[in-house]
Structure 1
Amino acid sequence: MRALTFHGKGDIRCESVPDPAIEDPRDAVIKVSACAICGSDLHIYDGVIPQMKNGDVLGHETMGEVVEIGASVKKLKVGDRVVVPFTISCGECYFCEHGFYSACERTNPDHAKAETLWGHSPAGLFGYSHLLGGYRGGQAEYLRVPHADSGPIKVPQNLSDDQALFLSDIFPTGYMAAEFCDIKGGETIAVWGCGPVGQFAIRSAFMLGAERVIAIDHIPERLALAEKAGAETLDFHKVDIYEAINSMTKGRGADACIDAVGTEPDPTGSIDSFIDRVKVAAFLGTDQPHVLRQAVHCCRNFGTVSVVGVYGGFIDKFPMGSAINRGLTFRMAQTPVQRYLPRLLERIEKGDIDPSFVVTHRGTLEEGPDLYKTFRNRKDGCIKVVLQP
């Protein structure tokens, strides 16, 4: 089959790889009808995700048709149309039983590596390094889905691929980011990053009852899309974000702040942002937490900082004194997608949201390497890429 594979920093190729097969009675194989390039895939493209190997198949936003099932699979049948969560979860361990599917204890065969870095291992992920299981990803013609009874959800025929595909990751992630803000109604929520996850966080915050959303970015197309959703926007190249949010909230700060950027923020011109970039380039640091620092300072006393941007290791100069003395709450996670799927699918079916709004570019797997570059460089107003094998 054809698939997109990693061959080093900036080197993504479309090439032939062996077809997947049933390896365990709980497996299913799907024929991919649509997959997407995620913003977190760009961290792989940029070479900042450890434990990637040449030839690894990429991608963790995938949907398609079930073409084969293992003998123990009970909930799916051949011909079912499904969307696949990016987290691989057994459905039976302590964390899965408590709804924390992204912390599954059984699906990361590389758990010892993860434990060395993080203390404990999260679940395995599709297409995201040998730190998280080395599983093949879904930017391919076919995908093997382990633990098929506790992952994929069936998609109604009346929904298009574009409406359903983002249930695999970015819609639940954006929704979780807003849910973490403990919105009761009437709040002001600040969102850093108006990429795909940020866009879903903005819309989810409004769905959950926020009165105002302040969206921070500098890409015109992203800011325009945020404004279309009803957000007030700030360009961090044109204003001082701390001063602007203070002014907009009468000096109190935002009720909650969402970091939808993570480890690779764009340069802001600030001293701490410059130092972060130098440290990472010199292998003296693993992450660039400028946005997270700013979110802490812009959050009101006893507010919440919600973190869904990807961080991989250790961060420098974190303002813990500010967080403690002002009573901030931090919420963060790799999204336990399965716990959100039924309610978000219902939201789509009811017409509360049409996730296809975020799609700007389409292509085939063969066009995938060029579209990685387009997405990475934000060319032609690129916000989200969907591939159709």
Structure 2
Amino acid sequence: MKAATWTGVNEVSVEDVPEPTILNDHDVILKIRQSVTCGSDLHLIGGYIPFMRAGDVIGHEFLGEVVEVGKEVRDRKVGDRVVVAPFAACGSCWYCKQELYSLCDNGNANPGITEGLWGQGVGGCFGYSHAMGGYAGSHAELMRVPYADVGTFVVPEGVSDTRALFASDAASTGWMGADLAGTEPGDVVAVWGAGGVGQMAARAAMLLGAEQVVVIDRVPERLTQVRTHVGAEAVDYTTTDVVAELRERTGGRGPDVCIEAVGMEAHAPGTPGIYDQVKQQLRLQTDRPTAVREAITACRKGGTVFTLGVFAAMVDKFPLGAAMNKGLTLRGAQVHAQRYIPELLRRMEADELVTEHLATHVMPLGEAPEGYRMFKEKDDGCVRAVFLP
């Protein structure tokens, strides 16, 4: 079958790979209907996650049709149209029972790498390197999904493929950030990053009752989507002092909740941006924490900063003094999608949550290398590229 694979730093190729088979009784095989690029994929492609092997199938945000089921699968049947959580989770371990699904003790069959990096192993993510389990990803014609009764969700008949597709990761990640940051009615929420996750975090904050939501980015097309489709306020960080503007918009206090949805390749104008990029390229730090630093500075005293963007290991000049002395709560997580997808599908069915606008470029799977180029370079206003096998 055809699949989009990582073949080297900044190289994606569509290749013939073996078809998946049922390996465990709780597996299903999906015929992929739609699969979409994610900003965190760019860290893999760019070589910032050093646990990829040439030929690895990438992709972790997807929707498909069940074509084969393992003999212990109870709740799924052939023909079901399902959206799938990006992290494989058993549903039985202590972490799964706390609804911390991306921390599942059993979802990553290769936990030693992350144990060495972070002190403990974390869950396994589809198409996201051998540090995260070595699972084949979703940019393919067929895919094996383990723990199918836990991680797959039947899409309501009235919800389109493209709308449901983003419940897999972008919408569930964004919702998680707004929820676990403790967003309450009347809050002011600032979101760094107007990609799919940032837009969904902003929309989630609004639906959770936030009084004012401000999204910060520099790409005109994304800022337009924020205003038009999300209904939040948008700020171009290249034209203003973001911290000063947020103070002004909040009567001098600062946002109650600051959500970082950028990750380890954050851009910044001027000397700070150059400093971070040089340090990263020289491997003197693994990640560029520009947006996190700004969020900590901007957040009101006693507020919450939540990191949704993917980070790998170490950052330089982290403002720990500001976080401590301002009494901030710092949180972060990979997505516990199983916890949120059912609610998201209900809201999608009720037209409270729309996502189709994120799919700016829809193309055949065979054009995946071009789709990733456009996505990385933000060419032609590309917010997300969706692949159709």
Partner of 1:187: 187
Structure 2, unmatched stretches of 5+, are none
Partner of 1:250: 251
How many Å separate the matches in 1 of 2:29 and 2:104?
A: 21
Partner of 2:175: 175
Shift of 1:184: 2.0
How many Å separate the matches in 2 of 1:9 and 1:46?
A: 5
How many Å separate the matches in 1 of 2:18 and 2:221?
A: 39
How many Å separate the matches in 1 of 2:260 and 2:15?
A: 35
**SS in structure 1 of the partner of residue 173 of structure 2:** helix
Count how many residue pairs are aligned between Structure 1 and Structure 2. Answer: 388
Partner of 2:142: 142
Partner of 2:93: 93
* Amino acid paired to 2:268: P
Shift of 1:231: 2.0
Shift of 1:18: 0.3
* Amino acid paired to 2:330: F
- Asked whether 1:233 is paired with 2:234, we answer yes
* Amino acid paired to 1:300: R
How many Å separate the matches in 1 of 2:109 and 2:282?
A: 31
How many Å separate the matches in 2 of 1:291 and 1:312?
A: 15
CA deviation string 1:68-87 (max 9, x = no partner):
11111111111111111100
Shift of 1:9: 1.2
**SS in structure 2 of the partner of residue 313 of structure 1:** coil
- Hey, which bits of structure 1, 4+ residues long, moved more than 3 A? none
Q: Percent of aligned pairs with the same residue?
A: 45
Determine if contact 2:169/2:337 at 8 Å carries over to the other structure.
yes
CA deviation string 1:177-200 (max 9, x = no partner):
111232221111111000110110
- Asked whether 1:11 is paired with 2:11, we answer yes
Shift of 1:309: 0.5
Partner of 1:201: 201
- Asked whether 1:262 is paired with 2:279, we answer no
CA deviation string 1:4-25 (max 9, x = no partner):
0001111100111000001111
Shift of 1:114: 0.8
CA deviation string 1:78-111 (max 9, x = no partner):
1111111100001111111111111000121110
**SS in structure 1 of the partner of residue 108 of structure 2:** coil
- Asked whether 1:355 is paired with 2:355, we answer yes
* Amino acid paired to 1:368: A
**SS in structure 2 of the partner of residue 363 of structure 1:** strand
Structure 1 window deviating more from structure 2 (244-253 vs 2-11): it is 244-253
How many Å separate the matches in 2 of 1:9 and 1:102?
A: 26
Partner of 2:284: 284
In angstroms, what is the RMSD of aligned CA positions? 1.0
Shift of 1:213: 1.1
* Amino acid paired to 2:194: C
Shift of 1:217: 0.6
Partner of 2:311: 311
CA deviation string 1:308-350 (max 9, x = no partner):
0000101111111111111101121001100111111111111
- Asked whether 1:21 is paired with 2:18, we answer no
How many Å separate the matches in 2 of 1:240 and 1:9?
A: 35
Shift of 1:356: 1.3
* Amino acid paired to 1:243: A
How many Å separate the matches in 2 of 1:26 and 1:181?
A: 33
Shift of 1:157: 2.2
Partner of 2:369: 369
- Asked whether 1:2 is paired with 2:2, we answer yes
* Amino acid paired to 2:126: F
Structure 1, unmatched stretches of 5+, are none
Shift of 1:218: 0.6
* Amino acid paired to 2:363: G
* Amino acid paired to 2:333: A
Shift of 1:115: 0.2
How many Å separate the matches in 2 of 1:226 and 1:132?
A: 32
* Amino acid paired to 2:247: N
TM-score in terms of structure 2 length: 0.98
How many Å separate the matches in 2 of 1:284 and 1:322?
A: 23
**SS in structure 2 of the partner of residue 302 of structure 1:** coil
**SS in structure 2 of the partner of residue 67 of structure 1:** strand
How many Å separate the matches in 1 of 2:319 and 2:153?
A: 41
